[in-house]
Amino acid sequence: MGSKLSPLLANLFMSDFEDDAQKEKYFPRVWKRYVDDVFAPVKERYLDQTLEMLNSRHSSIKFTVEREENGKLPFLDLLLTRKEDRTLKFGIYRKPTSTDRYITSDSNHFGGQKQAAFHSMAHRLYNIPMENAEFAEEKEHIHKAAEVNGYEEGFVNKILQTHRRKQHRRMSTTLQPEREEIKRVSLPFYPKITNPIKATLKRQGLQVVHKSENTLRDLLYNLKDKVPPDDNSGIYRIPCQNCPSVYIGQTRRKVKVRLKEHKAAVDNGKISESSVAAHAISCDHVINWKEAKLIKNVRKASQLNAWESYFISNSQERLMNEDDPPVTSCLFGLTKLRVQ
């Protein structure tokens, strides 16, 4: 069950398998399957035949049996108990190894992620037809789990209330609440920045979802053998030694190659080839080559124009390349939010 496709393929295969097998004499009368787990009551004396019939149908399909013990049988996350009147009652089943550790309250996840485990437990609490004792026991368990993970009583009460109300609504009316189409926006999760944006977007009817960022990859990324800055491509800055003018440019090749070209243009007086040369020659200024360097490493060529415009728009300095104005956009105002 490793790949995302596995459950789908298992379901396809199993429905085909079932269509065929149910024509057989020993196929159980009740057969409830969830992906690869089946609940099926079988008379003790027919158990061997049933298993043999199921296992003889396909070389790669092997069923194993889990029998009830003292009238109890765990199935998925439920504990089924056979009552005296031969009907079933339901409880929640947790593996003996379950630790009830979820995302703790002091963790830096956003609220929705912290609530998720409790929402799912609350949903199950109100949707599995449990008897009073099992219901009370499970509710108590949810409260305990919240406490163990550092949550206040109010946190879990609020979640339980949401699900109780939903259940109440379902039971008192057949009308469905009107569903508006929800529009979502995906943003990375930086609480200080995304929370205010979230509130603004919410007023516009947009719901923010967070990208799950591959933090470990992000962390490790910088540890990979670092390319010396001169060998990178991106946005570079060349200052003048005699005045505050700077040149901001982009290159998709190694920045040291591009800087060499500018220098050659200056040395050879080719003002048409380089705004840096034009500045140096027309003002009779000396270029500060020592301070000329890459200011933003850009790996994707498609992002070069955007980054160049960003740096030029945000620059407070006088630019040598003022004559070829950058792309301006009111969106650049937003970029000031960026954490540098």
Strand partners, 302: none
By rule CB under 5 A, what count of residues binds Zn ion?
5
Q: Count CB atoms within 10 A of the CB of residue 24.
A: 13
Q: How far is the CB of 277 from Zn ion (least distance, A)?
A: 12
Binding part of the chain for Zn ion, among 136-144, 202-210, 245-253, 328-336 by CB under 5 A, reads 245-253
Binding part of the chain for Zn ion, among 74-82, 180-188, 220-228, 244-252 by CB under 5 A, reads 244-252
Per-residue x/- marks for Zn ion, 201-240, CB under 5 A?
---------------------------------------x
**Positions in 94-113 near Zn ion (CB under 5 A):** none
**Residue showing the smallest CB distance to Zn ion in the complex:** 240
Nearer to Zn ion, 194 or 242 (CB): 242
Radius of gyration of the chain (CA): 33
Antiparallel, parallel or unpaired: β 88-92 and 37-39: unpaired
What letter represents residue 75's amino acid? F
Q: Residue from 115, 149, 233, 245 that binds Zn ion (CB under 5 A)?
A: 245
Nearer to Zn ion, 280 or 298 (CB): 280
Q: Give exposure, 59-83, as e/b (b: 16+ Cβ within 10 Å).
A: eeeeeeeeeeeeeebbeeebbbbee
Nearer to Zn ion, 242 or 303 (CB): 242
Nearer to Zn ion, 240 or 292 (CB): 240
Antiparallel, parallel or unpaired: β 183-187 and 206-210: parallel
Torsion angle defined by CA atoms of residues 27, 33, 37 and 42, in that order, rounded to the nearest 10 degrees: -30
Nearer to Zn ion, 189 or 247 (CB): 247
Spatial separation of the C-alpha atoms in residues 236 and 295, rounded to whole Å: 5
Strand segments, DSSP code E, in the chain are 32-34, 37-39, 72-75, 78-82, 88-92, 183-187, 206-210, 234-239, 246-251, 293-297
Distances (CA, A) of 337 to 61, 165, 197, 318: 57, 40, 10, 23
198 binds Zn ion (CB under 5 A): no
Binding part of the chain for Zn ion, among 20-28, 191-199, 249-257, 279-287 by CB under 5 A, reads 279-287
Tokens of 182: 């929800």
Q: How far is the CB of 266 from Zn ion (least distance, A)?
A: 12
Tokens of 277: 């040369």
Per-residue x/- marks for Zn ion, 46-85, CB under 5 A?
----------------------------------------
Spatial separation of the C-alpha atoms in residues 307 and 304, rounded to whole Å: 5
Q: Residue from 243, 257, 286, 301 that binds Zn ion (CB under 5 A)?
A: 243
Per-residue x/- marks for Zn ion, 283-302, CB under 5 A?
--x-----------------
Nearer to Zn ion, 12 or 243 (CB): 243
Q: How far is the CB of 287 from Zn ion (least distance, A)?
A: 8
Cβ–Cβ under 8 Å, residues 230 and 251: no
Q: How far is the CB of 225 from Zn ion (least distance, A)?
A: 37
* Residue (of 318, 292, 321) closest to 308 by Cα position: 321
Q: How far is the CB of 311 from Zn ion (least distance, A)?
A: 19
Q: How far is the CB of 269 from Zn ion (least distance, A)?
A: 16
Residues that bind Zn ion (CB under 5 A): 240, 242-243, 245, 285
